[in-house]
Structure 1
């Protein structure tokens, strides 16, 4: 095992644990969001039905206004909760992208310490038409360059190839300011630390 891999093992494992924790939180938030959306839809249907039939309901007019106000209040509260949940989900997705970008940075640093040029690094294996060394290198650059949305030709070429092979989630045009590091980690299979360790051992062997 290389010194870099040994030194960074605990850090990478810690990052993966944080990713798993954030993903679990996202799943719980998404489930809560679905439940709240169902409640909102039911309440909206009730509001519509009440609006259609309120003239036929035999209760005092002031009571009708109270019922109407209560329904609208509950709808507004549910909508606020849904928006807050969606914001929390988006925030956690951004955190995961940062964590995944950090793993790519660690991997890229190991390659650059070991080799003076990327061409000297072994391909190890290919995913689609791209070697994992290039996926790591360009994936790391993309996670940085997304801040401006202006990508180098090497990043564009790599992600165009990945888009052709694996679909639009690797498109730089659809969301030019979004880090795709989480998709790269998933594509590499690096959510399993043993796969990361195996690949990095092969990449850093000399």
Structure 2
């Protein structure tokens, strides 16, 4: 049975992708900080739950190790753990800037680095949940956009570095998605991209032939001027 590890898998985009992977027959590990939400998601998904923070290097190594011990390998890694704060550069605190870089970029790097030996063995796939904010100027989301732009760059480099091993990588870059992180916009949920839209894109990526390389997928929200 193929297997997948999803960080941030207890809610939002990560949970939607985890549901899709379950339906596709993957054995799952979901990792998240919120233990209560994590246990609910793991029970629904029949998944292994790892309470962990991607800010902690030891936690990152542990979630990969637990997954491999349980499933015997790793075929798909989804780095969906993320955090964002709405703020201009002038008003953004150093702490919030550091947290966004730590979770959105450093955390994805740490988990991916630990997972790579196993992904090479399976010629697996890495999906990094970035954002359209990393592709265009995003006043009011400056720190968040910067962290996601760096994640896109990391993904592109990973795809090229691992070309000879068969490991592929894609940065998925949606506009506002109907999750708790987008509540500050005040937009109604039906006007936002749905988490399931992101899951369907990941499903399509995993069905591509090994000859197809898709480094970045940008998903605009209908009605946005970009």
Fold-level similarity (TM above 0.5): no
Q: Which has the higher helix share?
A: 1
TM-score, with structure 1 as normaliser: 0.29
Q: Which has the higher strand share?
A: 2
